[in-house]
Amino acid sequence: MRLLFGSFFTFMLAAAIGLGATWLTLTRGVAFGSLRIGAWTAWPKSGSMDIDPYAHATVARTGELPIGNGDGVAFYARTDDNGENFDGRCTFTVSGMTPPARYWTLTLYDLEGRLVANAIDRHGFTSDELVRATDGSFTIAVAPRARPGNWLPTGGIDRFVLVWRLYDTPIGVATRTIKAGPMPAIARKGCS
């Protein structure tokens, strides 16, 4: 009787631990071999046959197609440089210089990877569209209300993700340090 009860308890606990750990890792997007530069994180291996099992399972669950290594690399940011979560009711600035790449795009998504509705139908910038200062630097205002210059609307949603995609770039699997690719800084400028 005790054995029966014990094994029943063990199996239930094992199922809870196992499935719980799987759910946690897949919804949080755990993956190995990440490349962190400031608030930005990329998983260059996810665009190759060397994709790790966690990243592979996450991709299968969400239904996205990772960017291939011969194409480019995608950096994701969910927080500003101080680690504070993005909030669509606040204003953030993305500024500085960009790593070397033939083209890049910056896109704002909700947490599910969908574009966010807004009045001017802008969902991001490409390297050609951006208004830059004379020294090549730039500032993008990510804000709920219209801003002069480069304005990326948040649509006032709760949380969002910024994705910086570099196309035809030397940044990739072999990149280890921040020196190879300076990424733009993200700062919080107050909330409405």
Partner 1 sequence: MTRTLLWILGAILLGGIVHLATVLVMPRAATQDAYSRLVPLTPVNAMVPLAAPIAEKSIMPFMDPAFAAAVCRYDLASGSIKLNAPVSQAYTSVTFYTRDSVAYYAINDRAAGRRAIELDLMTPEQHAEVPEEEDVTAADRLIIESPTKTGLIVLRALAPEPGLMAMARGALAGAQCRIQPVQ
Question: What is the rounded radius of gyration, in angstroms, for the C-alpha atoms of the chain?
Answer: 20
Partnered with residue 158 across adjacent β-strands are: none
Strand partners, 125: 106
Distances from the Cα of 130 to the Cα of 21, 34, 111, 125, 134, angstroms: 42, 28, 25, 7, 12
Give the shortest CB-128-to-partner 1 separation in angstroms: 4
Applying CB under 8 A, does 1 fall inside the site for partner 1?
no
In angstroms, rounded to a whole number, what is the distance separating the alpha carbons of residues 88 and 155? 7
Q: Which is nearer to partner 1, 145 or 189 (CB)?
A: 145
- Is 67 a residue that touches partner 1 (CB under 8 A)? yes
* Choices 34-42, 61-69, 78-86, 135-143; region in contact with partner 1 by CB under 8 A: 61-69
- Asked whether position 112 contacts partner 1 by CB under 8 A, the answer is yes
Where along the sequence are the contacts to partner 1 (CB under 8 A)? 6-7, 9-11, 13-19, 21-22, 25-26, 46-49, 51, 53-54, 56-57, 59-72, 74, 102-103, 105, 107, 109, 112-118, 121, 123-124, 126-129, 155, 163, 165, 167-168
